[in-house]
Amino acid sequence: MLKTIINILLCISLTLPFSQEGVLLPNTYTFEEIEGLQKIEERPIVVFIHTDWCKFCLAMKKNTFTDNKIIQKLNTSFYFIMLDAEYKKDIVFYNQTFRFKPTGLNTGIHELAENLGDKDGQMNYPLTAILSANQNIDVQFDTFLAKKELLKILFEYEKLNR
- Residue range of the domain that includes 89: 27-160
pTM: 0.84
Q: What is the identity of the amino acid at 52?
A: D
Give a yes or no: residue 12 inside a domain: no
Question: How is residue 64 annotated by DSSP?
Answer: I
Give a yes or no: residue 5 inside a domain: no
Question: How is residue 54 annotated by DSSP?
Answer: -
What pLDDT does 20 receive? 43
Residue 106 sits in a domain of what CATH number?
Answer: 3.40.30.10
Q: Among 26, 20, 61, which Cα is nearest to 144's?
A: 61
pLDDT per residue of the chain (162 residues) written in tens, 0 to 9? 444 433 333 333 334 444 444 568 899 999 999 999 999 999 999 999 999 999 999 999 999 999 999 999 999 999 999 999 999 999 999 999 999 999 888 889 999 999 999 888 889 999 999 999 999 999 999 999 999 999 999 999 999 987
> Taking a C-beta distance cutoff of 8 angstroms, is the pair 87, 114 a contact?
no
What pLDDT does 12 receive? 38
Rounded Cα gap, residues 47 and 98, in angstroms = 15
For 114-126, give the DSSP string. HHHH-BTTB--SS
> Taking a C-beta distance cutoff of 8 angstroms, is the pair 69, 77 a contact?
no
Query: How many domains does the structure of the chain reveal?
Result: 1
What pLDDT does 6 receive? 38
What pLDDT does 22 receive? 56
